[in-house]
C-alpha cells in the first residue's frame, strides 16, 4: 500500500505531532544547531481573513468618486495618513505609515486575478494554492517546500521547514513530501506528563521514546507513525530549548495577533531554521458597522507589525525577514445599507521588511470604470508570489506556480 506522509497525517496522525514531543537523543540533538543571522531568508505570511475593505485601508482621498460612493463610510481627508496627493493609509495605521516613510513598506495596488470569485472558501483556496482555474491538493508554499526539500537538510530544517502559528493548517502549506507543524503556543507544544504515576518527566519521556523506537511492524503506515512520533518529540524539546532565552524590550499589543507575532519573532531570533511562518488575523467580513470594527483590526495589524519589525532590529535579524499580508478579496466600491460593504474584488497587498524596496507598485483601480460595481484588478497576485519565490526564497516560480508571471521590483 502506497501512503505519502501528507496522506498519513490527514488520516489523523497529526494528533501525535501536536501532542507528543520526543526525548532528545544525543545523536539527533547534535544536529540541531540554531540558524545564525544572515544564513537564510524567511517569509512571514499574514492573511487578513474575511475580505478586508481595501478602499478604507489604502484610502483614495484624492478621488471624488470615493466620497460619492461612500457618504457614511468614507475616511475624512483630514484624517488620512497621506502617502502622496492621491492616496493614504487609514488613520489607525500609524505603525505602517512609519514603515512606509522608512522605506520598508511596498504597497501593491489593485491586486487580484482573472474571473474573481467572491466566495470566502473558494477565494481563500485560490490565494493559498495559486490556482484560480482548478482545484489543487497542494499550496503554493507547500510546492515551494517540496521543490527545495533535500535529504541532507539539517535536522532542524527537516523538523521545521515552515511553522503554522494558527490552529488549523492552511492549504497554502499543504505539500506532498514535507510535514509542517502547527505551533500556536510553545508551552502547549510539549510532552505533558501525568503526575498520577509519580514518575518524573524525564522518565516518562524516555519510556515514550523507547516505545516509539522499538515499534517495528512491516507496514508503511507503522513506519510513518514511528518517524512522525520521533520527529514530533524532538521538535518540541528543541523548540523549548531555543526560545527560553528570548529577551526583548519591545512592547507588542496585548491581543492574540500581537502575541502570535511576538512568538514568531521569538522563534526567528532564537535561531529556529524555518523558511516560512504562517499567521492570520480574522474579522474583516464587515457587512455592517464597518467603521469601528475595521479601525480596530487595522490598528491591531499595523501596531503588531511595527513592533515585530522593531523586535527583529533589536536582535539583528531584520535583514533576514520579509512579511507578506493579503486578504482573500476586497469589498465593493459602494457602501451598503448596513453601513458596511459587501464582497468585492481587487485589494491592496502589503510587503514589509528591511530588505524590501519600499514604495507604491501598480495603479489605484478606477472608481468609475467598474465591473458591475466592483474594482478591476491590475496586478496578478501570482506576480507577487513569483517575485518572493525567485527574488527572496530562491525557488523556481515557474515550476511552483505552473506558469510564468512577471517579476516585480520590491526585492
pLDDT confidence band for 21 (50 / 70 / 90): very low
User: What pLDDT, on a 0 to 100 scale, did the predictor assign at position 183?
Assistant: 86
Residue 275 pLDDT greater than 70, yes or no:
yes
Continuous segment of H or E residues that includes residue 97: helix 94-101
Please determine, for residue 227, whether its predicted confidence score (pLDDT) is greater than 60.
no
**45: helix, coil or strand?**
strand
Look at residue 338 and tell me if it is in a domain: yes
Ramachandran angles phi, psi of 194, nearest 5°: -115, 110
Question: Is 407 inside any structural domain?
Answer: no
The residues, ordered by sequence, that sit 6+ positions from 256 with a Cβ below 8 Å of its Cβ are none
Q: What is the pLDDT of residue 160?
A: 86
Per the structure block, which three cell numbers stand in for 39?
A: 544564513
Residue whose C-alpha is closest to residue 111's, from 328, 339, 335: 328
What residues pair up with 278 in beta bridges, in sequence order? 45, 164
Name the domain count of the chain: 1
Mean pLDDT is lowest, of 178-182, 315-319, 358-362, for 178-182
Domain that holds residue 107: 5-365+380-401
Higher pLDDT, 14 or 295: 295
pLDDT of 34 strictly over 60: yes
Domain contains 207: yes
- For residue 371, tell me if it sits in a domain: no
Residue 201 domain-assigned (yes or no): yes
Per-residue pLDDT averaged across 164-176, rounded?
94
Query: 152: buried, middle or exposed (CB in 10 Å: 19+, 13-18, 0-12)?
Result: exposed
The answer to whether the CB of 131 falls within 8 A of the CB of 244 is no
Kindly give, in sequence order, each residue whose CB lies less than 8 Å from that of residue 98, ignoring residues fewer than 6 positions away: 306
Residue 217 reports pLDDT greater than 60: no
Distance of CA 85 to the CA centre of its chain: 32
Residue 10 contacts by C-beta under 8 Å, 6 or more apart in sequence? none
The span from the CA of 102 to the CA of 357, in Å, is: 10
Check pLDDT > 70 for residue 191. no
CA 159 to chain centroid, in Å, comes to: 18
Q: Comparing C-alpha atoms, which of 161, 159, 186, 185 is closest to residue 173?
A: 161
Residue 35: its pLDDT value, please?
A: 74
Residue in the block written with cell 484610502: 59
CA angle 256, 240, 229 (to 5 degrees): 100
Lowest mean pLDDT among 33-37, 94-98, 398-402: 33-37
Longest dimension (CA), the chain: 73
Task: Tell me the H-state helices in 215-346.
Answer: 220-243, 256-270, 290-314
pLDDT grade, residue 94 (50/70/90)?
very high
Residue carrying the nine cell digits 533589536: 314
pTM, to two decimals? 0.86
What is residue 129's predicted lDDT score, i.e. its pLDDT?
98
Is residue 378 within 8 A of residue 110, CB to CB? The reply is yes
For residue 146, what pLDDT is reported? 94
CATH of the domain at 275: 3.40.720
* In contact, 107 and 100? CB cutoff 8 Å: yes
Within a domain: 370: no
Query: What is the rounded CA–CA span in Å between residue 80 and residue 105?
Result: 17
Do strands 42-48 and 321-326 pair parallel, antiparallel, or not at all (unpaired)? Answer: parallel
Task: Classify residue 231: in a domain, yes or no.
Answer: yes
Confidence of residue 202 (pLDDT cuts 50, 70, 90): low
Concatenating the DSSP letter of every residue in 159-181 gives H-SEEE-SSS--GGG--SS----
Mean of pLDDT values over 182-204? 61
Instruction: Mean pLDDT check: name the lowest of 201-205, 292-296, 325-329.
Output: 201-205
Residue 411 lies in a domain: no
Amino acid at each position: 500500500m502506497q501512503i505519502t506522509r501528507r496522506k498519513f497525517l490527514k488520516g489523523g496522525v497529526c494528533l501525535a505531532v501536536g501532542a507528543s514531543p520526543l526525548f532528545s537523543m544525543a545523536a539527533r540533538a547534535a544536529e540541531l544547531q540554531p540558524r545564525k543571522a544572515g544564513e537564510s531568508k524567511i517569509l512571514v505570511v499574514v492573511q487578513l481573513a474575511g475580505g478586508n475593505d481595501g478602499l478604507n485601508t489604502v484610502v483614495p482621498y484624492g478621488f471624488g468618486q470615493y466620497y460619492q460612493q461612500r457618504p457614511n463610510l468614507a475616511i475624512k481627508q483630514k484624517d488620512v495618513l497621506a502617502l502622496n496627493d492621491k492616496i493614504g493609509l487609514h488613520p489607525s495605521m500609524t505603525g505602517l505609515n512609519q514603515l512606509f516613510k522608512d522605506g520598508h513598506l511596498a504597497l501593491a495596488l489593485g491586486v487580484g486575478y482573472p474571473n474573481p470569485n467572491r466566495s470566502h472558501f473558494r477565494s481563500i483556496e485560490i490565494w493559498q494554492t495559486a490556482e484560480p482555474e482548478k482545484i489543487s491538493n497542494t499550496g503554493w508554499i507547500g510546492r515551494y517546500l517540496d521543490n527545495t526539500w533535500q535529504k541532507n537538510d539539517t535536522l532542524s530544517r527537516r523538523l521545521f521547514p515552515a511553522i503554522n502559528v494558527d490552529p488549523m493548517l492552511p492549504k497554502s502549506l499543504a505539500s506532498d513530501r514535507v510535514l509542517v507543524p502547527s505551533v500556536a503556543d510553545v508551552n502547549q507544544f510539549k510532552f505533558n506528563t501525568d503526575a498520577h504515576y509519580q514518575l518524573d518527566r524525564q522518565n516518562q519521556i524516555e519510556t515514550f521514546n523507547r516505545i516509539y523506537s522499538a515499534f517495528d511492524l512491516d507496514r508503511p503506515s507503522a513506519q510513518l507513525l514511528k518517524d512522525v512520533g520521533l520527529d514530533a518529540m524532538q521538535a518540541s524539546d528543541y523548540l523549548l530549548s531555543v526560545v527560553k532565552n528570548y529577551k526583548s524590550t519591545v512592547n507588542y499589543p496585548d491581543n492574540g495577533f500581537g502575541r502570535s507575532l511576538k512568538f514568531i519573532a521569538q522563534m526567528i531570533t532564537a535561531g529556529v531554521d524555518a523558511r516560512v511562518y504562517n499567521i492570520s488575523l480574522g474579522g474583516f467580513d464587515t457587512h455592517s458597522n464597518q467603521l469601528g470594527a475595521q479601525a480596530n483590526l487595522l490598528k491591531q495589524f499595523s501596531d503588531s507589525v511595527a513592533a515585530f519589525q522593531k523586535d527583529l532590529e533589536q536582535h539583528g535579524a531584520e535583514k533576514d525577514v520579509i512579511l507578506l499580508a493579503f486578504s482573500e478579496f476586497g469589498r465593493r466600491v459602494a457602501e451598503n445599507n448596513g453601513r458596511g460593504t459587501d464582497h468585492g474584488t481587487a485589494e491592496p497587498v502589503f510587503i514589509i521588511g528591511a530588505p524590501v524596496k519600499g514604495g507604491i507598485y501598480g495603479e489605484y483601480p478606477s472608481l468609475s470604470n467598474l465591473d458591475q460595481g466592483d474594482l478591476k484588478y491590475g496586478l496578478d497576485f501570482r506576480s507577487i508570489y513569483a517575485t518572493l519565490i525567485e527574488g527572496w526564497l530562491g525557488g523556481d516560480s515557474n515550476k511552483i506556480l505552473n506558469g510564468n508571471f512577471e517579476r516585480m521590483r520590491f526585492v
